[in-house]
Structure 1
Amino acid sequence: MKLPEHAPTTLPLLMAFDLDGTLIPDAGREVAADVGDALGRLRTLGVQLAIITGRDTPPGAVRDAMRPHAVATNNGGRVLVGEDLHAQATFTDADLEVVLAHELPGARVVLFTEDALYVDLPPGVEPEAWMRARSFRPFADAPRDGVLKAGYYHPDVADLAGRLRDSHPHLVLTGAQAPYPHFLTVTPEGAHKGAALTLIADALGVPHDRTVAFGDSDNDVAMLEVAAFGVQVGHLPLLTPHADARVDTQADLGAFLHAWADRIAAHR
């Protein structure tokens, strides 16, 4: 696979990856063998690696394969560099109260804290597959402090997103549009992937003009805008203006990363 000529290949270099639809297939649990091999080559060559995801925790198999230097979860609201917590954004009481007043009858609502998730399931509504795989707790037991992220499943989440953007523009909203028209994520002020990438680069001592971001969805826009070089995985139209290169499908990522490793090795 051909790598764009203007792709950065000189160290120091930081590569940050979204998970679902980018580093792994949607709802996946592990990286493909060729992706894992390429990540190992990049790390050996001196490239620093980061995961920046909307998930509240990356799968263990992904972490084992990648051995990231930093991990940001909850759309960038919680940032670990090595094993050290560098940032954690939580809702204020007032903001959480507004977010929970969602006016979406029958919505499935999930609140995420550092160590648990709390799910509101209306009668007769089945949990999502990823919820069933987790030991979630009753929504009524959710605390009102320490909430990192709220998620909503409902056909009318776009209406909620519009109301929140009008009344509380400092909150960070993603989803409620393609490719997730029925899912909305809300995070506190400043909790987005672009801020996480900046913090990680600073903590690792990587100049901002030596950062690369990979993403496939609307919650990756902030990260691609901040990165010196952005790579779109897939063909989501709203992401295209923010990318410097494209990987056509998630299955092509391994070949693309191997080509990058080849270029770095050739310049050493």
Structure 2
Amino acid sequence: MTRPPERPRPRRLPLLLAFDLDGTLIPDLGREVPAATVRALARLRGLGARVAVITGRDAAPPHVLATAQPDAVATNNGGRVELNGELHREARFSEDELAAVLAHELEEARVVVFRPSGLYAELPPGHPPEAWMVERGVRPLAQAPAGEPTLKVGFYHPGVADFAARLRASHPHLVLTGAQPPYSEFLTVTPAGAHKGAALTLIAQGLGVELERTVVFGDSDNDVAMLEIAGYAVQVGHLPLLAPHADDRVSGPQALGAYLEGLADRLEAAEAPAT
């Protein structure tokens, strides 16, 4: 599915600006929003624009929350949605779905399971946890509390594309992202309806903004669902598969601030009284 012909850039309020995190609002694996973007977001908020962060991570870094000051945050690829700091939705696997996801048959795979109490990993014998797992306090999957719901599962393995194809055939309602460039060896699985398009819809409704008044920024395949339904879609970076889904493009996170300043200029010009 591709978007209709390029739409004009938004020039009037109300607007909801929704951002992916890694590779979009912040550099890949970064923790801080570039200063130029922070300034532009403050200006846009002052004009009345609303801001949302919609990420594949299970939590947004504190610096992002402090500087972007989003009205809404969606994590786990959109499976968990918070509006004004309050939990609005949390998608969970059924027991049967989780059993199918964990029956992956990927020898030597690293599997990370995301639950409300924390992160749990199943690692190949003899493979110690990675540095980020130690930093996040990831525990063995066998220690996960019995009966606790699962929100997301991540796989690291060269064969995730084949597993993704099998899982799509057996459980087509589950949401799969990754398993293709640039994440050829990484696959994320979330429950039915847990995708960024659904999160954008819920956030827009909760904030009282029509979808036609949303501007979305994303850089990867898990952003396609929200790029498709947004009023205006901006690709960040150069990933070819996103080009058919975007109305505009920004070269990367470091160029985002200047792009947002241009948007603020247009909003101010539209709101200025006629002379």
- For normalisation by structure 2, the TM-score amounts to 0.93
Q: Please, which of 236, 259, 262 is the counterpart of residue 262 of structure 2?
A: 259
Q: Deviations over 1:14-61 (max 9, x none)?
A: 000000000001111110110111111111110000000000000000
Mapping of residues 105-254 of structure 1, within 5 Å: 105-142=107-144, 143-254=146-257
CA RMSD of aligned residues (A): 1.3
The 1-side partners of 2:64 and 2:142 are apart by 32
Tell whether the 8 Å contact from 1:14 to 1:206 is kept in structure 2 after alignment: yes
Q: Deviations over 1:36-95 (max 9, x none)?
A: 111111111100000000000000001000110000000000000012111110000000
Tell whether the 8 Å contact from 1:161 to 1:176 is kept in structure 2 after alignment: yes
Q: CA deviation at 1:263?
A: 1.2
Where in structure 1 are there 5+ consecutive unaligned residues? Answer: none
Q: Report percent identity of matched pairs.
A: 62
The 2-side partners of 1:221 and 1:247 are apart by 16
Equivalent position SS for 2:136: coil
Q: Tell me the residue number matched to 1:102.
A: 104
Aligned residues: 265
Tell whether the 8 Å contact from 1:50 to 1:69 is kept in structure 2 after alignment: yes
Q: 1:129 to 1:31 in 2, by over 3 A?
A: farther
Tell whether the 8 Å contact from 2:54 to 2:77 is kept in structure 1 after alignment: yes
Q: Supply the AA of the counterpart residue of 1:233.
A: V
The 1-side partners of 2:147 and 2:167 are apart by 19
Q: 1:202 to 1:156 in 2, by over 3 A?
A: same
The 2-side partners of 1:33 and 1:147 are apart by 36
Q: Deviations over 1:137-191 (max 9, x none)?
A: 2111224541000000001000110000111100000000011000000000000
- For normalisation by structure 1, the TM-score amounts to 0.96
The 1-side partners of 2:7 and 2:114 are apart by 41
Q: Supply the AA of the counterpart residue of 2:180.
A: Q
Q: Tell me the residue number matched to 1:61.
A: 63
Q: Please, which of 77, 80, 98 is the counterpart of residue 78 of structure 1?
A: 80
